[in-house]
Homo-oligomer: A and B are copies of this chain.
Amino acid sequence: MNKTFKTLAEPNRFQIVELLRNGPLSVGEVADRIGLRQPQTSKHLRALMDAGLVEVDPIANRRIYKLRLEPFQELDIWLESYRHIWKERLDSLDDYLQDLQRKDNHHHDEDKE
């Protein structure tokens, strides 16, 4: 998981991932569209491989890279726990506000007396 963050933290690699969202591409194509030299592109793709973010499909001379599902699922699961937290916080904020309102009503009552 941490490896995922570290790998995506590099701007070019993030861009590559965004690019591969549209479908598999060869090294040369990635290099062209990102505007990187071939060796650095290969290196970044290697890093993405090591992190399990992409997989490769060798076709003849070319190596076609494409995204892998799992790391994104992991991210999603991780985020899920945060979603719960916000929900809980909102709920208790809600309770709090209702509580305030009750107290406020009491005050009004007292004012009247």
Contact = CB atoms under 8 A, between A and B. Distances in A.
Interface in A1-56: 2, 5-6, 8-9, 11, 14, 21
A93 B68 CA distance: 15
Q: How would you classify the secondary structure of chain A's contact residues: helix, strand, loop or mixed?
A: helix
User: Interface size for chain A: under 10, 10 to 19, 20 to 34, or 35 or more residues?
Assistant: 10 to 19
Residue with the greatest number of chain B CB neighbours at <10 A, chosen from A5, A69, A86: A5
A11 to B, nearest CB: 6
21 contacts: A2-B9, A2-B11, A2-B14, A5-B8, A5-B14, A6-B9, A8-B9, A9-B9, A21-B81, A21-B82, A21-B85, A67-B85, A69-B86, A72-B79, A72-B82, A72-B83, A72-B86, A75-B75, A76-B79, A76-B83, A79-B79
